[in-house]
Amino acid sequence: MSDTSHASVPGASPLAEQTDRHRLYELSVQCAEAEVDFIDQNFRLLRGRSARLLREDFCGTASVCCEWVQRRKTNRAIGVDIDREVLDWGRTNNLSELPDDLAKRAMLLEANVLEVETPSPDIIVAMNFSYWLLKHRPALKRYFKRVRKALKDDGMFFLDAYGGYDSYRIITEERTIEGGDGDFTYIWEQERYDPVSGRLVCHISFAFPDGSRMDRAFSYDWRLWSLPEIRELLDEAGFKRVLCYWQGWDQDGNPDGVFTPVQAGEPDAGWIAYLTAEK
């Protein structure tokens, strides 16, 4: 049996040219199932009922919307993104994979999250730090206020954040990812951090076993917001209660993927946290 998985095949185009950057992104940084588990369980825990309408802000390929509508017949989803190209990709590759009766319960809107008007959702989510592109307090507070206003009376906002001392460093980290068409390397690059403004410039690149690369397939020009800043802005935007969820450790000393509300975290090199903000 010949194994061509780690060598370039003569005449074939490099793996980087055969692969789709959005699919690589989803495989590397998103786990819609775990996200929806967390969102669904914690909404029910805090509100005593199941949510129905979820709005995914900065939805990109809309993988959370697609996961949401698969969970219950009563679930509906609205995805909002400013970029038509990524929405079209989501429609063609994710929504179209769903049976019609599920797909018709998900709607994707090409709009700016700072301006969009939608029916009032039970839940609004903003994941993978996308709201960090709002770099100044007035803009972020305006977004948080709009989210609060858009939610149903007992609605909840779910968002995430990362930090730790490594987040201030100029570093490149690599992880091997198992893809359906073979393994590849996900490369996270923090190119620039400015302590005065908090500006953080990062990139995602991908490398393949045949030596080909997709350099800086995604770039982010963000502010590295701290948890106290985010919590204070959510308070100022009028949310009644803001909770911060920290991850535990398994027996081998690895993060266990279970996030619980905490009053204090740990000064790790790199952490990821979730927040909930209740209207």
Q: What mask, x for binding ligand SAM by CB under 6 A, covers residues 212 to 231?
A: --------------------
Is the Cβ of residue 36 or residue 151 nearer to ligand SAM in the bound state? Answer: 36
128 counts as binding ligand SAM under rule CB under 6 A: yes
Q: What mask, x for binding ligand SAM by CB under 6 A, covers residues 55 to 94?
A: ---xxx-------------------xxxx--x--------
Q: What angle do CA 116, 138, 54 make, to 5 degrees?
A: 35
Contacts 24+ apart (CB under 8 A), 128-134: 128/29, 128/30, 128/58, 128/160, 129/160, 129/161, 129/162, 129/220, 129/222, 130/57, 130/58, 131/57, 131/58, 131/159, 132/200, 132/220, 132/222, 132/223, 132/224, 132/225, 133/220, 133/221, 133/222, 134/223
Total residues binding ligand SAM (CB under 6 A): 17
121 counts as binding ligand SAM under rule CB under 6 A: no
Nearest distance from C-beta of residue 59 to ligand SAM, angstroms: 5
Collapsed DSSP state (helix, strand, coil) of residue 133: helix
Nearest distance from C-beta of residue 217 to ligand SAM, angstroms: 12
Eight-class DSSP state of 259: E
d(CA 171, CA 67): 33
247 counts as binding ligand SAM under rule CB under 6 A: no
106 counts as binding ligand SAM under rule CB under 6 A: no
Is the Cβ of residue 80 or residue 273 nearer to ligand SAM in the bound state? Answer: 80
The window from 53-61, 94-102, 150-158, 257-265 that contacts ligand SAM (CB under 6 A) reads: 53-61
Phi-psi region of 128 (alpha: psi -120 to 50; beta: other; left: phi over 0): left
Is the Cβ of residue 186 or residue 210 nearer to ligand SAM in the bound state? Answer: 186
Q: What mask, x for binding ligand SAM by CB under 6 A, covers residues 18 to 37?
A: -----------xx-------
147 counts as binding ligand SAM under rule CB under 6 A: no
133 counts as binding ligand SAM under rule CB under 6 A: yes
Neighbours of 90 (CB within 10 A): 24
d(CA 242, CA 245): 10
Tell me which residues touch ligand SAM (CB under 6 A): 29-30, 58-60, 80-83, 86, 112-114, 127-128, 130, 133
